[in-house]
């Protein structure tokens, strides 16, 4: 697999006033992809692997909210403070806040390296706004990858997930445990459970997904962009499946396929 140095995504994580330390290399046909799937199916991991393979940045709206959280309540706008409360409860942040946040980051959508959106759009209103933003920039999307998994497996994944409080490495209490319980193998710091991975928040998140995000599958199917990928198995298995599906997607331009997926 070819790899590309990930940039620091400063313009995405910290907003339009910041510039990324390195920009992805210029390519004639950069990839523009959206990842869909319930929380816990492994979208973030697949986004990172795809980003390494395709050279496009991993743009997660959840990461933007988590970055904002570290600034502290006093430094946030009222809309961002509402967003923090929604996130903590596992609820969706209001559409207007998320759409404004992405619209402010149009330079990431138009970046010469393309994009891999993860966690946005999450409602039909967000998807319609994204289509408008892209059309205004005369850009088209290449594909929408929908990762699917049975609900009981999703709950088991989310409730067992632990993250290093230091380096953010991700573990699972049974599937991928650290060598020493609750201690990060990589940096030795303690492992924590994300607030929104607690049982009460998981139920709210999955409900929000079923009500608000599942309709997007039809939305993108109608546009001929949908690729459905079973998300069971190792991250490598899922990645291979995804690359294979992208390679076989008839709607994708030949030039892209021959360049990046050989």
C-beta pairs of 254-258 under 8 Å, 24+ apart in sequence? 255/28, 255/29, 256/29, 256/31, 256/142
Draw the binding track, 67-106, toward ligand AMP (x: CB under 6 A; -: no contact): -------------------xx--xxxx----x--------
Phi first, then psi, for residue 143 (nearest 5°) are -175, 160
Catalytic status, residue 107: no
The nearest distance, CB 61 to ligand AMP, in angstroms, is 3
The nearest distance, CB 219 to ligand AMP, in angstroms, is 14
Q: Are 47 and 236 a contacting pair, CB within 8 Å?
A: no
Q: Are 229 and 241 a contacting pair, CB within 8 Å?
A: yes
Q: Which of 42, 113, 119, 178 binds ligand AMP (CB under 6 A)?
A: 119
Nearest Cα neighbor of 86 from 196, 181, 211 is: 196
Q: Which of 120, 147, 171, 220 binds ligand AMP (CB under 6 A)?
A: 120
**Does the footprint of ligand AMP cover residue 196 (CB under 6 A)?**
yes
Nearest Cα neighbor of 66 from 211, 144, 165, 157 is: 165
Catalytic status, residue 194: yes
Catalytic status, residue 161: yes
Q: What residues line the site for ligand AMP (CB under 6 A)?
A: 39, 60-62, 65, 86-87, 90-93, 98, 119-120, 122, 126, 196, 205
């Amino acid at each position: 697999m070819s790899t590309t140095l990930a940039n620091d995504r400063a313009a995405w994580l910290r907003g339009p006033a910041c510039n990324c330390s390195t920009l992805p290399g210029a390519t004639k046909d950069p990839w523009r992809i959206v990842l869909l799937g319930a929380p816990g199916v492994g979208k973030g991991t697949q986004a990172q692997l795809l980003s390494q393979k395709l050279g496009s940045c991993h743009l997660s709206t959840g990461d933007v909210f988590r970055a904002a959280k570290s600034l502290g309540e006093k430094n946030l706008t009222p809309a961002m403070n509402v967003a923090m409360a929604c996130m903590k409860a596992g609820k969706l942040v209001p559409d207007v806040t998320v759409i404004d946040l992405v619209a402010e980051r149009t330079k990431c959508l138009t970046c010469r390296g393309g994009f891999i959106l993860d966690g946005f759009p999450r409602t039909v209103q967000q998807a319609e706004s994204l289509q408008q933003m892209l059309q205004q920039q005369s850009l088209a999307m290449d594909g929408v990858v929908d990762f699917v998994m049975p609900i009981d497996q999703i709950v088991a994944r989310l409730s067992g997930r632990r993250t290093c409080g230091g380096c953010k490495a991700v573990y699972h209490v049974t599937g991928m445990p650290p060598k020493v319980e609750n201690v990060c193998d990589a940096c030795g710091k303690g492992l924590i459970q994300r607030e929104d991975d607690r049982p009460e928040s998981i139920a709210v998140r999955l409900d929000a997904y079923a009500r608000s995000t599942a309709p997007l599958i039809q939305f993108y199917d109608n546009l001929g962009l949908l690729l459905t990928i079973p998300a069971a198995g190792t991250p490598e298995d899922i990645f291979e499946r995804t690359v294979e599906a992208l390679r076989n997607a008839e709607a994708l331009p030949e030039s892209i396929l021959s360049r990046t997926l050989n």
